[in-house]
Structure formats: C-alpha cells, structure tokens
Amino acid sequence: MNRLYLLILWLLFSLTAFGQGKGNLQTDNGKTTNRVVAYLLEKLDVETAPLKGITKITGRENQKKALLNYFRSRNNVHHRINRDDRVRSLGNIASESDFELADDALKHIFVGQPAYPRFFCGEDIDWGSRPVPDNEWVWQLNRMNFWNAMARTYWHTSDEKYARAWGEQLIDWVSKNPNDEDHRYAWRSIEAGIRGNSWCELYQRFIDSPSFTPEVLIAFLTSLHDHASFLMTKYTSNSNWALMEAEGLAAIAILFPEFKEAPLWREEAFRRFNIEIDKQVYSDGQQRELAMGYHVGCISWFLRSYELARMNGMEDAFPRTYVEKIEKMCEVPMKLCHPDGTVVQFGDAWTGKPGQYNNQFMVWSKLFDRDDFLYMATEGIQGKAPDKTAFALPESGLYSMRSGWDPEAIFLALKCGPNGGAHSQPDNGTFSLYAGGRILMPDAGSYIYSGNPEGRAWFRQTKVHQTITIDNRNSAFAPKLLYWNTKKDLDVLVVENKSYDDLTHRRSLLFIDKRYFVIVDEVYGAATGEVGLHFQLAPGEPTVDKKNFSVQTNFPEGWNVYLQTAHNQSQMQLLEEEGWVSHQYTIKEPRPAFCFNINKTGNNPVIRYVTILVPYKDRKPDIKVRILNEPEKEPISKMNLEITENSSKKTIQYNL
C-alpha cells in the first residue's frame, strides 16, 4: 500500500467536515482531494462503460459525487445481502448482542478475541492495541466483527449514528494501517481475506446511508483495491487460510467489476477454490485439518463464494464435482457431532452449544433437497432421520457409533487419522463418549492458541487423550483401518496406528446391543518401557477401585459411565494423572484422568488390555468381558470374546 496515498487520505479525513455529517472538504484541501481521487480513478476502468466519461466531468468534487451516485444506483451486481431488504429489516434483524457490540463500538470499546473482555482502544483509536498477551486479540480486532454488528443495528434502527461512526472508523483504520512491517498485526493474509469478504457485506448495508459520503467511498474502494492486490500475492495452499484469502479476493472481484484488475482477481480466486476443494477435502467429505469448527468454516468459504458467483452468472467457473463435494462435507457434522449438536473436540475444536449448526443444516437442506439435513435442522420435528447409526470416514480416520438420533442417544466418536497439520493433535485412537445429553468422556480440547505456549503444549500431548503411549512420549501419525462392520446389534471397528518406530497400537472397538462398548487394545513391537493406557472423564468426583482396576462417574442425576480394564499379564497399575479439559477458548477445568500402566520388557512382545465401557442411567449393569483366545505373541487376527451380563453369557467373534 502506498504510504503517500495513506498520508493523503489521512489529511483528507482530517480536513473533512465528515464528523458533522456534511461530507464536504474544506476549501484549502483541493490538492489533497485531487490526488486521492486521481489515485482511485487509476484503479477503475473509466475507459469503457459504465464509468466511461467520468474523467471528463469538471472538478474533483463533481467526480466524487458522480462516483457515489453511480455506485448507489448500479444494479449490475448481486449479493446475498440484498439492499432491498433494508426496509423489511427494521426492528427485526439485530440481536441484543449486536446492540451491545455496536453501542460499545461507538465509544471505541472493541472486542478482539471474544474470550477476553472488550477494551477501550482510545479516543484516537489504536488499532494495534494489545490488552492481553494473546496475539489472537489484536488479530481479531483487525477483522472488525463489531462493524457487522453496527451494520445490522443500523438496519434494525435506521439510526445514522451507526453508519456515521462506521465511516469514521473505516477511514481511520485505512489511514493508520499501511501494509508494512510495523502493521503485520493488521495484514496477515487471513485478516485481509476476512475483511475483503466482510467489507463487501458492510457496503451492502451502508451504501444507501446519507453518512456514506464520497470520502467514505474513496477510502473504501482504494483500500479494497489494496486488499485484492495483496491477496493476489498470498496463497496459503492446503489450509483454511487459502479459502479465506480466496473468498476475500472473489468477493471484491465479483462485487466491484469496475476495477481494471477484477477479471484477473476473479479468475485467480476461482482457480484457487477449484484446486483447494480437491486438495483439502477427502473423498469421505472431511476437511484435512480434522477439526470440526474449521471443517464447517471451510464449507462456508467454499459455498459462499460459489453462491456469489452463481448469483452473478459465473457458476460455470466451478465444475459439478465442486458442489457435490460440498454436499459431502455437509454430511460430516451430521455423522460426527454429539447427538445434541455439540462438537467432538478432536484437534483445535471447542464443544460449542447444542444445536449450533441447526441454521446451517436448514440452508443445506434447501440447497441439496435433503430430508436428513432438515431433520437435523429441526431437531427431528421435520424431515427424516438418517438411515444409519454408524459411520466410517476412512480417509480422514474418523468413525462414529450411536444408539439412535434423539439427543439422549449413546454415542462414541473415535479418531485414527493422518496428520492434519497445525490444528491436529498426536492423538490417534482417542475418542469421545456421550450419553443422555452428557459428554461423559470428552476429548481434551485445545485451550488456547497464542499467549500461553506452555498451556497450548500441555493439551497437545498424546498422554492427555484416550489412547496409548510408551514412556508418555507423543505418538506419530501412521493410521490404518483394519476392519469395519455394522449390524443391528453389533458395530465393530478395528484400527491401528504405528505410534512409534518400534511399537504399534491396535484398537478394536465394539458397540454391543447399542448399549455399551468393549475396547481391546493390543500393543506390539520391539520397544520396551512404560506402556500407558490413558482415559479421562468429565469433571467431577469419580469412584476409583484400584484393586478391580475400575473407575466410574458419580453424577447425582442423569447418566454416568463405568469403566473397567483387564489385562493379559501381571503387574498392571492403575495410576491417577493430571487431567484438564477445555470447552471454551482460554478456559480449562480439572477433570479425573487415569493410566493403566504396564512395564513392557523383551519378554512380553504383545500387551493386551480389555476395557468395558458402560454408559448407564440409574443402576449400573453388571457386565464383564474376557478374551477366550489363548495367549498369543502377535496381535489376534480372529477375536473371540465372552460377554457376561448378570448370569447370561454370549460369545462375540470377528475375523480380520
């Protein structure tokens, strides 16, 4: 971004009666006006229709007014926020939270990362404010999500103070934030991409305001051009960043075709989307980073840009397979979220709220004409429940089993997948257990991104997940699906992970009678050391029976879980460990954590654990399990289990 241009723009704003709503330059500022308008006109296609002839208008003031009149009156572009909806939005669009954010923003009290308190950034706004040591605060401050709240509140109330304040803050931000090393906090490519898309939405809401003056338009368009030019140079392939970069570029190019470079921007944005949907999305529908929040975000980034292109007659830029892959992606939260709609916290994920994706499912149900999506959107009131209760996503290594589709159902999701990058964790084999509306054994979560590296590192240890370690070392990503079979009364999953160079972990998971689980863990290889089978419960005071190697939760109401582990050799210890779980960013709480520990020597090439996992309400069922196979020096290929419940016995077999 040109520093001279920024200085000019700052002078322009300083000498403008914008704060009084007049929108006219002072008489001693003519040269400044000329240079700023000339800068913008260089970027616009003024040689052909519809802007042809604007340079022939006498006087910069008249040119500025002509530009504003043109952009207010044009009808050749379309956006999902329809300006005609403004009247219908009076009194029914802004939420209570929108009003709070918008009114605080009028006083320069802004929200950065929303886990932290809002902060007064000064009468003369400091866009580099860092009230906490977490960089996420200043990065997200410069996404200006509070501006969207101001825009919705403006449509809700038609109160010009919101539009006027937005224009002032826009020009202030542009004038203070050149794209240089001193302002990296504002110019990461992810923030630039988010702003490119978000500002186009803001334009739709504010362009008809009397407070949207020629000065605001000049600042807005010149900065948009700088954003697009910057995004053309940034392409963070194979991550969610690439999609936000491309979305910002596409939004600017589609909504403002008057820029000379808009055709090139569109072509590049569409090219990236078509590349990334093939690179990032497995054939099973899961986005490669293996974290649900980012997965759903990627659906939005892929879909919104396609929809914007379609609205403007450009859908031919995307092949049919593009939309088919998006539909497959939309199935993933249906298959892998807890029955109440909360998120399984694999990788950088947070639990969220029940039904948090209902609105998305409603949109998807209409877009793809899916009764199962409608069922999810309406929590079973409309539509039809999915016809399966167990799902395997073998490429991403994510699996789920459930007793049904009501919010009280028993549910378990397990992960044994590839390295998903920075948002993934070395946790293959881990799982989350839910029953009766309660997450009984949640995955740890991720706690924080920036500002507390020790805290983030703690949550990224293999040993704080429901899986196997040796000497508490972090494991590798080397997954393999060995067996998957589902029946009415029995689901069986067998996965394997070569967790260390000389040690492999095989986990067999059986969901029996849609009521309880049996887990067979086999650890084999030449490695020696302390093998730990780790489990963690929801926060609470459990009952621990070290003699019988069992633990159980003790919630006074609702559902609990009973866990007992047996083994194929002596000297197993049940040890209590440090346990934490984080359901919200920056917030963690202690929870019970345990390790079934066995010292592996050269004399025991295979260690075998058998765990019964019984979610229950009221009275705990009396269920026991044992392996009938003779002790083997290799993992069992033909498993033979005996299940005893009260006085009744049955045998379960499967052959790999």
Identify the three-state secondary structure at position 515.
coil
Number of other CB atoms surrounding residue 632 within 10 Å: 15
Q: Which of 168, 243, 245, 152 is nearest to 202 (CA)?
A: 152
Question: What is the distance between the alpha carbons of residues 118 and 120, in angstroms, rounded to a whole number?
Answer: 7
DSSP string covering 50-64, please?
TTTTGGGSSSHHHHH
Q: Tell me, what DSSP letter sits at residue 48?
A: S
C-alpha distances in angstroms, 274 versus 257, 295, 630?
A: 21, 17, 54
Question: What is the distance between the alpha carbons of residues 474 and 121, in angstroms, rounded to a whole number?
Answer: 42
Within 8 A by CB and 6+ apart from 9, the residues are 36, 171, 174, 175, 218, 219, 222
| Sign of the dihedral through C-alpha 436, 438, 442, 448 | positive
Q: Which of 615, 616, 473, 602 is nearest to 534 (CA)?
A: 473
Q: In what order do the strands lie in the sheet with 648-655?
A: 623-627, 638-645, 648-655
Residue 448: Cβ-neighbour burial (10 angstroms; 0-12, 13-18, 19+): buried
Provide the β-strand partners of residue 486. Answer: 491
Question: What is the distance between the alpha carbons of residues 557 and 365, in angstroms, rounded to a whole number?
Answer: 36
Question: What is the distance between the alpha carbons of residues 110 and 141, in angstroms, rounded to a whole number?
Answer: 7
DSSP string covering 626-642, please?
EE-SPP-SS--SEEEEE
What single-letter amino acid sits at 584? Q
Number of other CB atoms surrounding residue 363 within 10 Å: 16
294 catalytic, yes or no?
A: yes
H-assigned helices in 95-134: 96-106
C-alpha distances in angstroms, 650 versus 618, 628, 643, 644?
A: 24, 12, 5, 7
Is the link from the previous residue into 542 a cis peptide, with omega within 30 of 0?
A: no
The token duo for 450 is 């920036």
Within 8 A by CB and 6+ apart from 76, the residues are 50, 257
C-alpha distances in angstroms, 623 versus 468, 629, 645, 652?
A: 24, 19, 4, 14
Question: What is the distance between the alpha carbons of residues 101 and 218, in angstroms, rounded to a whole number?
Answer: 26
Within 8 A by CB and 6+ apart from 324, the residues are none
Catalytic residue selected from 294, 447, 585, 609: 294
Residue 254: Cβ-neighbour burial (10 angstroms; 0-12, 13-18, 19+): buried
Element at 119 (helix H, strand E): strand 119-120
Give the angle subtended at the CA of 381 by the CAs of 378 and 384, to the nearest 5°. Answer: 90
Question: What is the distance between the alpha carbons of residues 617 and 260, in angstroms, rounded to a whole number?
Answer: 66
Residue 164: Cβ-neighbour burial (10 angstroms; 0-12, 13-18, 19+): buried
Residue labelled with tokens 């980073």? 289
Q: Tell me, what DSSP letter sits at residue 476?
A: P
Give me the phi and psi of 374, to 5 degrees please. -65, -40
Residue 91: Cβ-neighbour burial (10 angstroms; 0-12, 13-18, 19+): exposed
Q: Which residues are catalytic?
A: 294
